[in-house]
Amino acid sequence: MPSPIRAGAVGLFLAASIVLGSLSSVHAAEDPPDVTETTGARGVAVAGRSDELAAHAEALVSRMNTAERAASVVMGHLPTTDPAVLEQYMRETGIGGFILMGANISASEGELRAVTSALQVDPELPPLIGIDQEGGDVSRLSWDDNASARTLKNAPVDDAGTAFAARASLVARAGATVNFGVVADVTDDPSMFIYARALGATPQSAADHVRAAVRGEAGLVLSTAKHFPGHGAAPGDSHQGIPTTDMTRAEWETRDGAPFRAAIEAGVPLVMLGHLAYTDVDTAPASLSSAWHDILRDDLGFTGVAITDDLGMLQASGIAAYDDPVANAVSALAAGNDMVLSVMFTTADTAPAMVAGITAAVEEGTLSSGRLEEAATRVMALRLSTAAQGDTLMPCTECTAIP
């Protein structure tokens, strides 16, 4: 098993970043909610990569071996609420992230906090702890009674910011640092799978509400826009197949691309790639498509962490080419993802198998060492941004430092 970089070295880099960068800051354009009052713990926001934080991430990754880098780009899952079991899992795997699902969440916030605390085996380099807290139809926290997309899509834009700020505060108090909660898909068709979860029925409405949601979460949790390039144009449920559309690239630019562009302009630190095929661009699902990653990076200007939707969904599609979860992880990284997420069909052995497979792929030349290093560095920078207890780190090109 990979042995994670130890805390002492990380602490030196993190302390330097705080001193050198004065990274505690606020948005000049729109102040986020007061983090001290709303989170009850630490706040997190990353609207862009600061040079200092990126340099520290690069230095740490340069000291990691291939297996450690491979582990750092895996977000795993284990269905239990037992803190001791979860702590052992994180120590043994050395993975860079964990996603909370219903099986990890008890009836109270305090019990969940015990779970998330157990996941942080190295407080100076905590994993990214993710959760799907959209509200409404997809809600892991039963105590979140804030408005969801069902009502927000028809409500004033400011309501989306208010609801997601309140939601993010609940997520942060529970100890999670990443919310996979901003559904940037757009559709006006109630029969579409994603309709009830989408924040807008038109490109402009979706873009405005998504922008407000991302800004609302800033300073509280790391926000994620999903499901790029857009589930609204692709009929079907991506948990059961590969929804496909023949929408042209030009149509996508003006329709489904608009909310993602708005999220990126608002500083969203993560984008989740969906298992969706836009055949005019690529017959492969976007999660495995280098063409879509090029569009995300080069055309939309995204510099944050690209993460897959649950790779188990590819297995669930029944398509033979996607039967091997390890091969799917390698393909996803090669296409341009920085982190691979696995939930469905996952056991305690899944993450170690992925780490071994990614390591072997680099050694065999199937996955370039440079691509893995790039992915690990982006993930490392995001993890470092969450590591300061009691400080809000906001590496942001549009922020003003607090005197």
H-state helical runs in 237-319: 249-254, 257-265, 290-294, 312-316
Helix (H, G, I), strand (E, B) or coil at 92: helix
CA 23 to chain centre: 21
Contact status, residue 375 vs residue 333, Cβ threshold 8 Å: yes
What's the rounded Cα separation, in Å, for the pair 398 and 28? 7
Of 157, 295, 282, 276, nearest to 214 by C-alpha is 157
Helix (H, G, I), strand (E, B) or coil at 71: helix
Of 181, 334, 336, 344, nearest to 273 by C-alpha is 336
Q: 141-150 long-range contacts, Cβ below 8 Å, gap at least 24?
A: 141/105, 141/109, 141/112, 141/170, 141/171, 141/174, 142/107, 143/109, 143/170, 144/170, 146/170, 149/183, 149/196, 149/197, 149/198, 149/199, 150/196
Q: Is 345 left (phi over 0), alpha (psi -120 to 50) or beta?
A: left
Helix (H, G, I), strand (E, B) or coil at 160: helix
Residues annotated as catalytic are: 239, 309
Query: Helices 350-364 and 325-335 meet at what angle, rounded to 10?
Result: 50
